[in-house]
Structure 1
Amino acid sequence: MRGYGQYCPIARASEVFAERWTPLIVRNMALGCETFSDILRGAPGLSRTLLAARLRELQRHGLLSRDQGPGHSVRYHLTEAGTDLWQVCLALGAWGVRWLELAPEHLDPYPVLWAMCRSADPAALPDRRVVVRLDFPALRPPTRFWLLYEHGDAEVCVHSPGEEDLVVVADPAAFTRWHMGWTTWAQAVRAGHIAVTGPCDLVHAFPTWNPHSRFADVRPEPHVLAAVPASEPVRRPADTAGPKTA
């Protein structure tokens, strides 16, 4: 990015922060991503070449450290300056929630699922392996993901990790609204925008495993809520084992 050539701290900081993908890289690292692959996984659309370039720039500006781990592995960590920049990201996110409308192109469920997994509280997760399939039939083409809960960890998968314990069918707008704290899980289910099938104990527990967005306490302006895409009804899944429940 070409510099502004100004003394102004806003101008000088923008030369670093306003580079495409940089705020998302800082976000991913603040959420615990330490390896190149983990950072990349949390930024769909970012190329490996561009990520490598951005990491070099962030290291040059003193925002991250690059440490050699076991077996020649490399890990990245935010420095004090990088952690301070994360506070700027949080302020920007709060501003975005309050003032920017949510459009259909923003409803990709993968970033929601990825954020849920990165922010999950290990103490709240099931004490055994659980696989949850999530279908979003309103997307074109229809989109499917899996959540794997195992050993106090949560992971979003694009391929089936094994036998499914729960199946969730959700409208992406409703799922995003729930994640943002704009509606409750029970309200979305009652409205027919989310349907869950599987053993009763897992059906009731599933929403408690997944945290809301860290911006859920920020109230959007009325015009933002009014512009949220409408949700579509979904059909209850019928191809999973175990007792069925509403």
Structure 2
Amino acid sequence: MPERSGFGQFCPVSMAAEVFCSRWTPLILRELLCGTTRFNDLRRGVPRMSPALLSKRLKELEKAGIVSVVRGKGGAVEYGLTPAGLDLKGVVMGLGMWGSRWVESQLSLRNLDPTLLMWDMRRNLVPEPLPPRKCTIQFQYPELSPTKQNYWLVVEEGDVDLCYYDPGFEVDLLVRSPLRTMTAVWMGVAKLRSEIDSGAIELDGDRALAGAMQQWLGLSPFAREHVKAA
């Protein structure tokens, strides 16, 4: 069990909260449940968390029996979840579903983060609707500073890579949108077709890719609460 003052109660809710409710811990578990295994990739999922604090939380979770650490050749370290950690999936997903249902969506849309949005889209992208060849899809958020405007998703043989710098491949589809609009679509607050029809989202390039965007883009795992309520 992590060394902390705790709540001093024998109740299982209290004891579980001592592990789960530390700052950033639910987000670290979210990343691990999504399949992230490497430290630098975990950082991409929680970009505002300092490396030192991330390392500390991972050690605490390992000590609590929730996170497993595998050290491979050359000292490479990968993180995973123990059976106890995997058993928290329902808790983490339930927390996200509750937030989607009960936390004001316009409030959540104030916390815009293009890096996190693209990272989430990258790991949830559905490759099957895309052609079997390499596909490069550029997302552009014109209102952001030049260093944060452009992101590229490169899909090849079912693998999806996120690039923060131009990878040098021919762009098959350019998606131009305000960050707030794309985030709203991703979270299920707005409908993709409606935003395209209104001109808020502009698509330039392969017409087949553009037409299948909803199929390959998908939605956030937590979006269905908004979709259900619509």
TM-score relative to the length of structure 2:
0.87
Aligned amino acid, residue 19 of structure 2: V
Counterparts in 2 of 1:20-35, with a 5 A limit?
A: 20-35=23-38
1:114 and 1:144 mapped to 2: Cα distance? Answer: 13
Stretch of structure 1 that moved more, 85-94 or 198-207? 198-207
* 1:152 aligned to which of 158, 164, 173: 158
* 2:12 aligned to which of 9, 12, 21: 9
* 2:112 aligned to which of 86, 107, 111: 107
Aligned amino acid, residue 46 of structure 1: M
1:186 and 1:90 mapped to 2: Cα distance? Answer: 27
Query: Does residue 121 of structure 2 align to residue 116 of structure 1?
Result: yes
2:125 and 2:204 mapped to 1: Cα distance? Answer: 22
Stretch of structure 1 that moved more, 108-117 or 85-94? 108-117
**How far is the alpha carbon of 1:140 from its aligned partner?**
5.8
Gaps of 5+ in 2: none
Match of 1:244 in 2: none
Secondary structure of the equivalent of 1:203? helix
Match of 1:98 in 2: 101
Stretch of structure 1 that moved more, 141-150 or 28-37? 141-150
Query: Does residue 225 of structure 2 align to residue 218 of structure 1?
Result: yes
2:227 and 2:214 mapped to 1: Cα distance? Answer: 23
* Compared CA separation, residues 128 and 221, structure 1 to 2 (3 A): closer
**How far is the alpha carbon of 1:197 from its aligned partner?**
0.5
Deviations 1:68-103 (A, max 9, x none): 223331111111111112221111101111111233
Percent identical residues = 38
Match of 1:186 in 2: 193
Q: CA RMSD in A?
A: 2.3
TM-score relative to the length of structure 1:
0.82
Count, aligned residues? 223
**How far is the alpha carbon of 1:221 from its aligned partner?**
10
1:108 and 1:74 mapped to 2: Cα distance? Answer: 27
2:61 and 2:101 mapped to 1: Cα distance? Answer: 29
Gaps of 5+ in 1: 226-246
2:193 and 2:35 mapped to 1: Cα distance? Answer: 30
2:131 and 2:118 mapped to 1: Cα distance? Answer: 17
Counterparts in 2 of 1:10-159, with a 5 A limit?
A: 10-101=13-104, 102-103=106-107, 104-139=109-144, 143-159=149-165
Stretch of structure 1 that moved more, 67-76 or 88-97? 67-76
* Compared CA separation, residues 209 and 21, structure 1 to 2 (3 A): same
